[in-house]
A = this chain, B = another copy of it.
Amino acid sequence: MIRDRSKLRWNGWGWIAQRDRLAAHDAFWTWLAQELGMPGLLATPPRPLEELVLPASRLTAGERAVLIALLGADRVREGAHERAFHARGRSYRDLLGLRAGDLDLVPDAVLYPRGQGEVLAVLMLANEAGIAVVPFGGGTGVAGATLADPCGFKSVLALDLTGMDRVIEIDTVGGTATLQAGISGMALEQALKARGATLGHYPQSFEFSTLGGWIAHRGAGQMLPRYGTAENWLLSARLATPRGLFSTEAVPASATGPRLSQLIVGSEGAFGVITDATVRIRSAPAFADYRGYLFRDFASGAAAIRTVMQNEIPAAMLVLSDAQETRFCRAFNALSDRQGWSDRLADARREFNGFDDAACALVTGFEGTRTEIRESVGRVAAIARRLGAIPLGRSPGERWRAGRFRTPGLRDSMLDRGVGIDTFETAASWSRLDALHASVCQALTAALRANALKPDADGIVLARIAHAYRDGASLEFSVIFPRRLDGEIEQWQAIKTAACDAIVAHGGTISHHHGIGTEHLRWMEMEKGALGLEVLRAIKQVFDPKGILNPGKLIPR
């Protein structure tokens, strides 16, 4: 079944019918304007599609006829909403472009294949005709990996995989499920839950993003410590390529040279189109426990997470807000109707313990049997206690769970009001994490100031440990700032560059879970090395000798 894109925003996040949750929350907006040093918020609505003229499709009549013969007229679409929806992903840079009506780069047509055979046929045709193909799942990526850029080819097709959303097999004995790659997170988990199973991959984009997209961009779910990324849960994948079908090893483990399925994880559509995948599933957890702690400072909170991971206590989630984010969220909660007795109790305890503005909030999550959870929560509580933390009970955990898929939509609300927001993310060794956190915050603060709308209206920097491992953790940094409307792409580019340069300089990866796309291309060689890039190019050359697959993404030219 084709997903009905007409009900989704072409220039923002999610459903058109979804109301702006903060629209009526005047107190929040007044407070935010003050925080940002803005005299008041602005009205900066996006340009409507009706005002815009899209470039004419460059498909020839012959190409169109062949595609229609292949897929059916309903699956070869050239309407304005379809093309605009598939023009870009949903990064801050993408949103700036879409809202400004910059549709110079749009697909010439959007295709909705039904299965592997049709995808292969489309690729053969495109390869023959010299047409670029951009595989498209949920379209929720934030690194520019679905930008409809023909990169010198004569036209560009968006290949929307969401019509390929079938569950092929669930094998509860083998502990695996095989699904078409276009299935959304929501549909995938529904199908697995009906069999008592779960994949446990919950990115913020869960409602819209697809299995294939998760694999292709090497994304992370919020409960990564327990459920892992595609690197861990992908057993095997089938890839349609211009050279034919490629199936990776279908065995649980092997010593037959490098595992080629690992080349698919992070391939970003550049090696082939993932048509279906077999993933390792687990029993759906019977119980969950999400709760909060407050630490005196970032270092002690980070030490707690490290201790939990290195003692292999099976946490599902560990998120530590830094002092700025803790303060920001506390102020936001104080403004909202969400604050209850437990927040007030926490405030009292915080004062009693002499915690100051350096305090940092940790949310922990555990899933499993009741016994497992009781055991793990007890061990973590003991670690937190030893490190001087205040337990905050379940309400921070429940608040986090309730809002966990909502955050991306808030960007639209801010963008409507002259406010910009972007998130940068990285991961590094525990040995480097403190210095990395400090340096990137410093670089971002300086960049916000140097590119501010006006002096004293520069913006704020929030950060958090978002995912944790035995050997390190990922850091996320969010910036919220008044948009410099006369040069907002430049403003963003300066901030982005400052963040990424600081990340690389301090031993962080250029992307922990957003991928490379177009936005991280320039730091790719620093991470992979010149020989590493040659390897990626050589692999692409095997599968896609003419380079029609998602050109200009992943591998710098």
Determine whether A16 belongs to the interface, using a CB cutoff of 8 Å to chain B.
Answer: no
Determine whether A487 belongs to the interface, using a CB cutoff of 8 Å to chain B.
Answer: no
A479-538 contacts to B, CB under 8 A, are 507-516, 520, 524, 527-529, 531-532, 534-536, 538
When the two chains form their complex, are residues A283 and B257 in contact, meaning their CB atoms are under 8 A apart? no
When the two chains form their complex, are residues B260 and A266 in contact, meaning their CB atoms are under 8 A apart? no
Chain B residues whose C-beta falls within 8 Å of the C-beta of A509 in the assembled complex? 249, 251, 253-256
Min CB distance A328 to B, Å, is: 26
When the two chains form their complex, are residues A554 and B253 in contact, meaning their CB atoms are under 8 A apart? no
Chain B residues whose C-beta falls within 8 Å of the C-beta of A531 in the assembled complex? 241, 243-244, 246, 542-543
Q: Say yes or no: A256-B246 contact (C-beta < 8 A), given A471-B176, A531-B241.
A: no
Min CB distance A26 to B, Å, is: 38
Determine whether A310 belongs to the interface, using a CB cutoff of 8 Å to chain B.
Answer: yes
> Which of A80-88, A105-113, A217-225, A340-348 faces chain B?
A217-225
When the two chains form their complex, are residues B171 and A431 in contact, meaning their CB atoms are under 8 A apart? yes
Min CB distance A230 to B, Å, is: 10
Q: Say yes or no: A536-B280 contact (C-beta < 8 A), given A171-B429, A431-B174, A471-B176.
A: no
Q: Say yes or no: A266-B259 contact (C-beta < 8 A), given A253-B229, A471-B174, A528-B249.
A: yes
The 10 closest A-B pairs by CB, nearest first: A252-B472, A254-B509, A218-B255, A174-B431, A251-B509, A538-B538, A174-B429, A262-B262, A175-B471, A257-B266
Number of A positions contacting B (CB below 8 A): 87
Determine whether A231 belongs to the interface, using a CB cutoff of 8 Å to chain B.
Answer: yes
How far does the alpha carbon of A219 sit from the alpha carbon of B253 in the complex, in Å?
11
| Closest residue on chain B to residue A369 by CB atoms | B311
How far does the alpha carbon of A512 sit from the alpha carbon of B252 in the complex, in Å?
9
Chain B residues whose C-beta falls within 8 Å of the C-beta of A428 in the assembled complex? 251-252
When the two chains form their complex, are residues A257 and B220 in contact, meaning their CB atoms are under 8 A apart? no
| Closest residue on chain B to residue A267 by CB atoms | B258
When the two chains form their complex, are residues B282 and A528 in contact, meaning their CB atoms are under 8 A apart? no
| Closest residue on chain B to residue A531 by CB atoms | B246
Determine whether A312 belongs to the interface, using a CB cutoff of 8 Å to chain B.
Answer: yes
Determine whether A395 belongs to the interface, using a CB cutoff of 8 Å to chain B.
Answer: no
Q: Please, what's the 1-or-0 string for A233-265, where 1 marks a CB less than 8 Å from any CB in chain B?
A: 001000001011011111111111111101111
How far does the alpha carbon of A260 sit from the alpha carbon of B251 in the complex, in Å?
21
Copies of this chain in its oligomeric complex: 2
Contact partner of A263 among B516, B535, B542, CB < 8 A?
A: B535
Min CB distance A556 to B, Å, is: 11
| Closest residue on chain B to residue A508 by CB atoms | B251
How far does the alpha carbon of A173 sit from the alpha carbon of B220 in the complex, in Å?
24
| Closest residue on chain B to residue A218 by CB atoms | B255
Min CB distance A385 to B, Å, is: 18
Chain B residues whose C-beta falls within 8 Å of the C-beta of A471 in the assembled complex? 174-176, 235, 252, 280
What residues of chain A have their CB less than 8 Å away from a CB belonging to chain B?
Answer: 171, 173-176, 217-220, 229, 231, 235, 241, 243-244, 246-260, 262-268, 280, 282-283, 306, 310-312, 314, 368, 375, 427-432, 467, 469-474, 507-516, 520, 524, 527-529, 531-532, 534-536, 538-539, 541-543, 554-555
Q: Say yes or no: A430-B246 contact (C-beta < 8 A), given A256-B528, A474-B253.
A: no
How far does the alpha carbon of A65 sit from the alpha carbon of B514 in the complex, in Å?
53
Q: Say yes or no: A251-B472 contact (C-beta < 8 A), given A174-B431, A542-B534.
A: yes
When the two chains form their complex, are residues B542 and A255 in contact, meaning their CB atoms are under 8 A apart? no
When the two chains form their complex, are residues A253 and B539 in contact, meaning their CB atoms are under 8 A apart? no
How far does the alpha carbon of A131 sit from the alpha carbon of B56 in the complex, in Å?
59
Contact partner of A532 among B246, B251, B368, CB < 8 A?
A: B246
Q: Say yes or no: A516-B256 contact (C-beta < 8 A), given A251-B507, A542-B534.
A: yes
Min CB distance A127 to B, Å, is: 15
Q: Say yes or no: A280-B470 contact (C-beta < 8 A), given A256-B510, A257-B267.
A: yes
How far does the alpha carbon of A311 sit from the alpha carbon of B196 in the complex, in Å?
13
How far does the alpha carbon of A531 sit from the alpha carbon of B555 in the complex, in Å?
20
Question: What are 16 inter-chain pairs, A to B, with CB distance below 8 A?
Answer: A174-B430, A174-B471, A218-B255, A218-B257, A243-B531, A254-B510, A255-B514, A255-B515, A255-B516, A256-B266, A256-B510, A257-B267, A257-B555, A259-B265, A283-B311, A531-B542
